[in-house]
Amino acid sequence: MYTLKAMQKNQRIILYLLILIAGGAWTFLSMDRNGTSTAGNIPAPQAGFAAPDFTLKTPTGETFTLSELRGNAVLVNLWATWCPPCRAEMPSIEKMYQEYKDQGFIVLAVDMTHQDNPLAIAPFIQEYSLTFPILLEETGDVAAAYQLRSLPSSYFINRDGIINEVVIGGPMSEALLRTRIEEILK
For residue 159, pLDDT over 60 is answered with: yes
Each domain of the chain, given as residue ranges in start order, spans: 1-31, 55-185
**Averaged over 33-48, what is the pLDDT?**
64
pLDDT for the residue numbered 27: 79
What CA–CA distance (Å, rounded) separates 79 from 148?
A: 10
Task: Compare 41 and 55 and report the one with higher pLDDT.
Answer: 55
pLDDT digit string, tens, across residues 103-138: 999 999 999 999 999 999 999 999 999 999 999 999
pLDDT for the residue numbered 182: 96
Nearest to 177 by CA among 160, 149, 144, 155: 155
For residue 37, pLDDT over 70 is answered with: no
- pTM summary value: 0.77
Quickly name the fold that domain 55-185 has. Glutaredoxin (3.40.30)
Three-class SS string for 43-100?
ECCCCCCECCCCEEECCCCCEEEHHHHCCCEEEEEEECCCCHHHHHHHHHHHHHHHHH
What CA–CA distance (Å, rounded) separates 103 from 129?
A: 21
pLDDT digit string, tens, across residues 79-104: 999 999 999 999 999 999 999 999 99
What CA–CA distance (Å, rounded) separates 128 from 104?
A: 22
For residue 38, pLDDT over 60 is answered with: no
For residue 33, pLDDT over 90 is answered with: no
Neighbours of 82 (CB within 10 A): 14
Taking a C-beta distance cutoff of 8 angstroms, is the pair 58, 133 a contact? yes
Q: Which helix (H) or strand (E) element contains residue 145?
A: helix 141-145
Residue 5's pLDDT band, with cuts at 50, 70 and 90, is confident
For residue 165, pLDDT over 90 is answered with: yes
Q: Which amino acid is at 49?
A: F
How much is the mean pLDDT over the chain?
Answer: 90
For residue 149, pLDDT over 80 is answered with: yes
